[in-house]
Each structure stands twice: as structure tokens, then as C-alpha cells.
Homo-oligomer: A and B are copies of this chain.
Amino acid sequence: MTDKRVPAGQRGRGASPTEADGTGTAETEAGGTGAGGTEVASTATESVPPAPGTRRPGGRTARTRAAVRDAVLTGLADHGYPGLTVEYVADHSGVHKTTLYRRWGGLEGLVADALDMAGEDSWVPPDTGSLEGDLRELAREVVDSFSDSSAASAPTAFVAAAFQSERAAQALHAFYAERFTRCTAVVARAVERGEADTDIDAAALVRAVSAPLLLRVFITREPIDSALADQSAAAALAATRAGAYNRR
């Protein structure tokens, strides 16, 4: 269940996952103290604004929210968005259906909140000391996050759900926007070291690193591996050095 509570491919690593989830664990445990899920989440992600189109109902414990999120992820992974029902989430979370409707509004709200929680982690991009190393690590983390089908199932289900639910689409957009914003720290450090120009479009660069990988995973359905990650990182580095991402 740990791997599903932390939806691989949706959490970080250059718009991809992490294996361990300190924040999620803390959140779940904090729930036992009676702290509200919203408050704990706020503490864990002070700099992360709430995703548009989602809401975080207050008053329930973080433990309840995590249990519901786990059930949503399991359901998405096993049945996809079309097969997911509020009944399923109720059965697998132990939270009554009427509570789910009251607090999350329904299925779209449940999925959006699960995605929102996926963004509430403490992931930070690699800091290897060089742009080359950082970009390579970012790309490799994306590949690692899709290394097996169980890790890939939840993020894939989120991307699929976004095609069917406007609210999920908004939550997915917000997730990636926030995730890529974290990645720009890599570019800021590169600028400080003189490895990139001050007018570089950092948002474009960090997206370029993972784009060829996510294209293959979610759209063309082609395999990815560490060699492809390295190639993508090398290409992004070369383009950076040539000034291709500089604003004109």
C-alpha cells in the first residue's frame, strides 16, 4: 500500500515519483493526534498553494484523508477512472459513503484530492553540484518511477482520469505546475554557477528533460530506460549551453 499512497510518477523527480514518503507517513501519524488533515498538509507544504479546482475539507483527521486517498489510488490503479465508484472508496477506506459525499462532494473531488495529496510531499530535486548531474538525476528518477507496472499504475490512472474529469485535469495541471516549479531550483543553481544564462526559461528546460520520457510512457507507449534518460538529459544540457532556452 505504501507504493500506492505515494503515487509514483506523480510526485516529483522531474514530474515523477519518489519511493519513500516521509510527509505522507508523518501526515498519517499526525492524524492519530487529532490534527486536521488540512493543517498537517499546510505545515508540510507551506510553499505549495492549494490546487485550483480542488478543496480540502477541514475537520477530518489526516488519517481518514490518507485512508481515503489510499482507496482512491488503489481503485484507480485496479479499475481506472471509469471503474472507480464512491462505493468502492467507501468499502476500501472504511469511511462511510455519506461522509465521502459530504466531505469530497463525489468521485471527482475524491480523485482531485488524491492528486492534491500526491503533491504534498517533501521531494526536492537533486543537487549533485552540476547542471549535467542534476538533469541526469532528474531524468533517471522519472525512469525509475516507471520501472515496474505497479509503480506506474497510479500515475497512469491520474493522467487517464484527467481526460474524463475537468476537475481531475485541473488537479493534474496544478500538480505538474508545482512539481516543475520545484525542479527549477536546479536551473537557479546552474545560473549561480554560471552554467546557464540568467535569462534562461527554466520552466521550459525542466519540462524538456522529462518530456521525451513522459511522451513515451503516457502517449506513444514505448519503453524507457536509463540510456534514454541520459540522452534526454544530455540533449537538454546541450540546448541550454547553446542558449536554446534563453528568452528572446
**Cα of A216 to Cα of B159 in the assembled complex, Å:** 12
- Assess whether A80 is interfacial by the CB under 8 Å rule: yes
Q: For residue A9, give the distance in angstroms from its CB to the closest CB of chain B.
A: 11
Whether the pair B220, A204 counts as a contact (CB closer than 8 A) is: no
- Assess whether A245 is interfacial by the CB under 8 Å rule: yes
**Cα of A242 to Cα of B232 in the assembled complex, Å:** 13
Whether the pair A207, B212 counts as a contact (CB closer than 8 A) is: yes
- Assess whether A215 is interfacial by the CB under 8 Å rule: yes
**Cα of A208 to Cα of B211 in the assembled complex, Å:** 8
Pick from A35-43, A86-94, A118-126, A168-176 the stretch touching chain B. Answer: A168-176
A234's contact among B169, B173, B177, B244, by CB below 8 Å, is which?
A: B244
Given contacts A163-B163, A207-B215, A207-B220, 10 further A-B contacts (CB under 8 A): A80-B163, A173-B220, A176-B220, A177-B222, A207-B212, A208-B232, A231-B245, A235-B244, A237-B244, A242-B242
